[in-house]
Amino acid sequence: MSRLPISLLSAALLLGGCSLIPDYQRPASPSAAQYPQGPAYAAQSPVTPRVEDWRALFNDPALQQLIESALVNNRDLRVAALNVEAFQAQYRIQRADLLPAVSANANELRQRVPSSVTRTKAAITSTYSVNLGISAYELDFFGRVRSLSEQALLSWLSTEEARRSAQLSLVANVANAYLTWRADQELLALARETLAADERSLHLTTRNREAGKSSALDQIQAQTSVDSTRASLARYQRQVAQDLNSLTLLVGAPVSENLPARPLNSDLVATVPAGLPSDLLQRRPDILQAEYKLRAANANIGAARAAFFPSVSLTANAGTSSRDLSGLFKGGSGAWTFQPQINLPIFNAGSLRASLDYAKLQKDITVAEYEKTIQTAFQEVSDGLAARQTYEQQLQAQRDLVQATQDYYDMAQHRYRSGVDSSLTFLDAQRSLFSSQQGLITDRLAQLVAQVNLYTALGGGWSRVEPLPPSP
């Protein structure tokens, strides 16, 4: 190959660093610098415990085991991981266009020429050739190929953040499904205990009626309590079975019904501290995903701009050819081809301008989506912090209510057995106790779910902010 093609190729590689991508600037956050404060929010926490991931958040070994299994077996997460690999492959394909594709080929051509063409007699000719070269390599003077490569890279990184978001959601969904299952199990056990108490009351009322101490109305009221609790028992049996089915689907593997259980009122989930800065949102994978999409749209503008300028492609090869195989590499058999091609857009009916406008509009759309993602995240964390404080107050009030209704039930039962009060007061106390105990379990579940959701809203922890990698 002569010095001219080599010089042009070297110049192309040097000029390939030119880029028409606009300078990227992260949009200002549309959310406040701090989360809301007020009666619904806890005071500033003097100590901020470190929670790096879900292992430090959940204190139930059974739940940790289920999450580990889900991260391995869940099909949705597996699809998200495969999508990351697919986008990585697309990036590698696009990145390969930055360098020329060099290929080598060897050919043999053997043909017969008839006598009607040679005017003498038929002839058989043979040609052998070996070539090494590049074909239609675009010299990236204005950075079009480099812009497309950066766009593919950022799309790949965006997909990786989507996988992290799917993993974070999976952890939260498994935890919430597990906690719901445990709560329904406790509600089922409570319904069984209440049904046994109702049946004892019905038996006592039936005996009192036979002895003339109670009326038929008292017996009917006692029977009504039994039937109502039986309906609750059937409902909770159904919910426990359905909860287990949902948990099995999330885990992606069979879940034993006899997993060792910790009480719902134990320390199952770590408490999120108060006074967290709002810039913790920058670690959320959905916000990082939105920003990578924004940067990819910004890179696409560079490719659209470069389309206005001439494109230069190069085809070149060098090799040797001979009519005899033995003379293929002898002196005088060398040959080369150099074929540059320039494409200058002159008239395209506004297609290139429309493409650039479309790229800019896509960036404006992704800016709005990025800002909306931050606003949504800020609202989710604020709601979670409000729930954190108010659920503590609600649970304490509910515990006091359970204790009060327990005292009411004990006194009403004693007075009924002593013949001081009718069964109406006793049955009312029984229903009130059952209802308050149900409310306590339900409120505790809501508090735990709110803590899990707050952990998710904070992006999977609150120890430090993960900075966005610099632009490649």
CATH number at residue 219: 1.20.1600.10
Retrieve residue 91's tokens. Answer: 């990036």
Q: What is the pLDDT of residue 452?
A: 92
**pLDDT band at residue 468 under the 50/70/90 scheme:** very low
- How far apart (Å, rounded) are the C-alpha atoms in residues 471 and 291? 11
The most confident of the ranges 261-270, 301-310, 393-402, 457-466 is 393-402
- How far apart (Å, rounded) are the C-alpha atoms in residues 223 and 202? 6
Query: Which residue do the tokens 């209704």 mark?
Result: 405
Q: Is residue 340 part of a domain?
A: no
Q: Is residue 465 part of a domain?
A: no
**Quick one: which of 68, 99, 34 has its CA closest to 170?**
68
Q: Is residue 5 part of a domain?
A: no
Q: Is residue 464 part of a domain?
A: no
Q: What is the pLDDT of residue 467?
A: 45
The most confident of the ranges 16-25, 111-120, 300-309, 333-342 is 300-309
**pLDDT band at residue 208 under the 50/70/90 scheme:** confident
- How far apart (Å, rounded) are the C-alpha atoms in residues 374 and 439? 35
**pLDDT band at residue 466 under the 50/70/90 scheme:** very low
Mean pLDDT along residues 139-157: 90
pTM for the structure as a whole: 0.81
**pLDDT band at residue 5 under the 50/70/90 scheme:** very low
Better pLDDT: 471 or 382: 382
Q: How far is CA 181 from CA 188, 261, 383, 434, 453, in A?
A: 10, 11, 24, 20, 17
Retrieve residue 103's tokens. Answer: 């290929």
Q: Judge whether residue 188 has pLDDT over 90.
A: yes
Query: Which residue do the tokens 């992704």 mark?
Result: 366
Contact criterion met (CB below 8 Å) for 316 and 73: no
Mean pLDDT along residues 147-159: 92
Q: What is the DSSP-derived secondary structure letter of residue 34?
A: B
Q: What is the pLDDT of residue 9?
A: 47
Q: What is the pLDDT of residue 463?
A: 57
Better pLDDT: 183 or 426: 183
Q: What is the pLDDT of residue 279?
A: 65
Q: What is the DSSP-derived secondary structure letter of residue 22?
A: P
* H or E element, residue 35: none
Q: Judge whether residue 289 has pLDDT over 60.
A: yes
Mean pLDDT along residues 325-332: 74
Mean pLDDT along residues 143-150: 90
* H or E element, residue 337: strand 334-343
**pLDDT band at residue 182 under the 50/70/90 scheme:** very high
Indicate the number of domains in the chain. Answer: 1
% of the chain at pLDDT higher than 70: 89
**pLDDT band at residue 8 under the 50/70/90 scheme:** very low
Q: What is the pLDDT of residue 472?
A: 44
The most confident of the ranges 104-108, 205-209, 391-395, 412-416 is 391-395
The parent domain of residue 69 ranges over 23-98+142-309+348-457
Q: Is residue 16 part of a domain?
A: no
E strand intervals along 2-117:
102-113
**pLDDT band at residue 98 under the 50/70/90 scheme:** confident
